[in-house]
Amino acid sequence: MLRSTAFRLIGIMLSLLLFTGCAGAVEEPDEPGLLLGFSQIGSESAWRIGNTRDIENSAEEYGISLMLENANQNQENQIDAIRRFIAYKVDVIAFSPIVEDGWDNVLMEAKEAGIPVVLVDRDIRTEKEGLTTCLIGADFYNEGVMAGQYLIRKADELGLEEVNIVEITGTQNSTPMEQRQAGFADTISSDPRMHILESIDGDFIKSRGAECMRYLLETYGEEIDVVYSHNDEMTLGALPEIEKTSMIPGKDIIIISIDAGQEAIDVLKDGRINCVVECTPNLGDELMEIVFKLKNGEEVEAVIHPTEQVFSDEMDVNSIAPRGY
C-alpha cells in the first residue's frame, strides 16, 4: 500500500515539474492581445449585416479579440452589453447607438472603469464631457444634401414646375434619420418647386417601408412625384407597393434611397429607382486603428468620416462595381 502511494506522489511531483517549466523551457504566453467589446444595433438591414461582417473581418486581420453582441434593435440590450464589457474589463468599448439619448449613466460607468469608448456609425446626444473618444461614421447630413442636390438636378432635367415629395424616414431620434432629413430639407428649402407632403417613420425596416408606402399611396395617390427613403431596406419594401398601382417607379415616381447595397444598385440598374446615395458599412479598419491608438495612449481624431459617392441614372450604372453588402 505504502509503495503504491509513494509512486503516485512521485508521479504527481514529476508532472508538476513538467508543467511549471522547471523541467525545461515552457513557451511564455505572448503578450495577451487587445480585447474589444462591440455592441451592435441588430441585423435590420443589409447595411447592418455588412457592417458587422466588416468589423469581424477587421478584428481578425488586426489580431484584436472581439466580443460582439447583437442588441436586436433594443437600447436596453445595448446598455446591458456595455455593462458586461465593463465587468469583463475589456480594453476598449465600441458601439453603434440605436438612438441618440439615454447613454449618460452607462457611459459614466465605463469612464469610471477607465475603459475608453468609441462610437461607430451613429452618435449620441449628451451634456457630459469625455464620455466617448471618437466617432467613426458617415456624414449623414451630407448624404441628405446629396439626395436633395440630385432631386434639384432631376427636376431641372425633366422641366418639373411642381415636385411633391413623400419621405420615409429611418428610426426616430437616430443620427442618420435626423441628419438625412435635415440635409435634404435644407437643400431643397430654397427651391419653390419642392413640397414635402408628409414624412413618416419606417424605422429602417423593409416591412415598415412597405406599410408606409401603402399608407402614402392611399393618402396621396398620383399626387406623389418623389419618394425620399432613408435606407435601401425601406425602399425595397416600398417598391412592390408602387408596382401594385398604375404608376411606374423610376419613371412616374422618382425614387431616392440611401445605403447603396447590392440589391438597391441592382434595382437602380433596372431603372426602378433613380438615385442611391452611398453610406459605406466598411468601418472596421478605422475602428481597429483607433483601438490601437487608444491603447498606445495616442491622440485620436474626434470624428472620422468615410468618403461617399452618389449612384444615379445620370451615370453609366452598368459600370458600378459589386458592392459587397
Residues at the site binding ligand GZL, with contacts judged by CB under 6 A: 44-45, 47-48, 121-122, 138, 176, 204, 231, 233, 258-259, 279
- Find the shortest distance in angstroms from Cβ 145 to ligand GZL: 15
What number of other Cβ atoms are within 10 A of residue 117's Cβ? 23
Mapped to the 3 state alphabet, what secondary structure does 95-151 carry?
Answer: ECCCCCCCCHHHHHHHHHCCCCEEEECCCCCCCCCCCCCEEECCCHHHHHHHHHHHH
List beta partners, residue 70. Answer: 40
Query: CA-based angle 162:168:170, to the nearest 5?
Result: 140
Coil, strand or helix at 56: helix
Helix (H) or strand (E) holding 70: strand 65-70
- Find the shortest distance in angstroms from Cβ 264 to ligand GZL: 10
The single-letter DSSP state of residue 318 is: G
- Find the shortest distance in angstroms from Cβ 308 to ligand GZL: 10
* Strand order across the 35-40 sheet: 65-70, 35-40, 92-95, 117-120, 134-136, 303-304
C-beta closer to ligand GZL: residue 122 or 323? 122
CA distance 30 to 116: 24
- Find the shortest distance in angstroms from Cβ 140 to ligand GZL: 7
- Find the shortest distance in angstroms from Cβ 207 to ligand GZL: 13
C-beta closer to ligand GZL: residue 62 or 140? 140
C-beta closer to ligand GZL: residue 250 or 261? 261
Coil, strand or helix at 32: coil
C-beta closer to ligand GZL: residue 124 or 138? 138
Q: In whole angstroms, how far apart are CA 160 and each of 145, 153, 163?
A: 20, 10, 7
C-beta closer to ligand GZL: residue 58 or 225? 58
C-beta closer to ligand GZL: residue 96 or 133? 96
- Find the shortest distance in angstroms from Cβ 30 to ligand GZL: 35
Q: Which three cell numbers stand for residue 221?
A: 395617390
Q: In whole angstroms, how far apart are CA 178 and each of 100, 226, 281, 288?
A: 10, 19, 19, 27
CA 34, 35, 37, 38 torsion-angle sign: positive
- Find the shortest distance in angstroms from Cβ 96 to ligand GZL: 7
- Find the shortest distance in angstroms from Cβ 157 to ligand GZL: 27
C-beta closer to ligand GZL: residue 82 or 119? 119
C-beta closer to ligand GZL: residue 122 or 154? 122
Coil, strand or helix at 179: helix
- Find the shortest distance in angstroms from Cβ 72 to ligand GZL: 13
CA 245 to chain centre: 33
C-beta closer to ligand GZL: residue 48 or 323? 48
